Amino acid sequence: MRILLALFVLLCIACQPKEVSTSGKYIKNIDKNVVIFEDGSKLELDNCKTCKTVYLVRHAEKDTVPAKNPILTEEGYQRSDKLAQIFKATRLDAVYSTLYNRTIHTVDSLTTMKGLSTSIYQPKELKSLSEKLLSKSDINKVLISGHSNTTPAFASTLMGKKQFENGFDESDYDNLLIVNVDSKGEKKLYQLKYK
């Protein structure tokens, strides 16, 4: 009898889903609620009526002029197109950006493809926007374009606790963060990358 019980326990442990290691992995695309990585592995996000998924990206590569509000470089526009392709097979309810050329241009290809308009937010209002996004029942899948300091800060605000000691490095443009909230309100943060 003990042997049968031990076999049953081992079988139960073996059949439990394994947590996919995702930190720093590069995304190939997102198909509905499944993130598909370049190495072929997959991450299934919670996708119920009350679940929330917030995608956070820093703006793509920016030019150096004009200094205060530059546009993207050619590489930045290519990254913008790649971002649109990543989200081609998944639904988005809204896209938010700060009121800067570099953040708006980062999501232009995506919003054009999806037929969405870009909603503007103020970087100083991360907490109020976070509360709005988490409480609205008609906005469940959102992409937010921000900056090297606001993108990690926004992830921390959504998670309700500090997740990053510093902002992203000024030369780092490939982060794609996902905050996924399940039906019980439990939150997970995934730190991913895209090319």
pLDDT the model gives residue 24: 84
In this prediction, residue 2 has a pLDDT band, given cuts at 50, 70 and 90, of low
Distance, in Å, from the CA atom of 130 to the CA atom of 141, rounded to the nearest integer, reads: 13
Q: How many CB atoms lie within 10 A of CB 129?
A: 19
Domain that holds residue 169: 2-193
pLDDT the model gives residue 17: 39
> Structural domain tally of the chain?
1
pLDDT the model gives residue 22: 82
pLDDT tens, position by position, 134-145? 999 999 999 999
List 62's β-bridge partners, or say none.
72
| Proportion of the chain in helix, strand, coil states, percent, rounded to 5 | 35, 25, 40
Q: Distance between alpha carbon 192 and the CA centroid of its chain, in Å?
A: 8
pLDDT tens, position by position, 58-114? 999 999 988 899 999 999 999 999 999 999 999 999 999 999 999 999 999 999 999
Distance, in Å, from the CA atom of 145 to the CA atom of 101, rounded to the nearest integer, reads: 11
Quote the pTM value: 0.89
The residues, any chain, with a CB within 8 Å of residue 101's CB and separated by 6 or more, are 69, 70, 71, 72
Domain at 78, CATH number: 3.40.50.1240
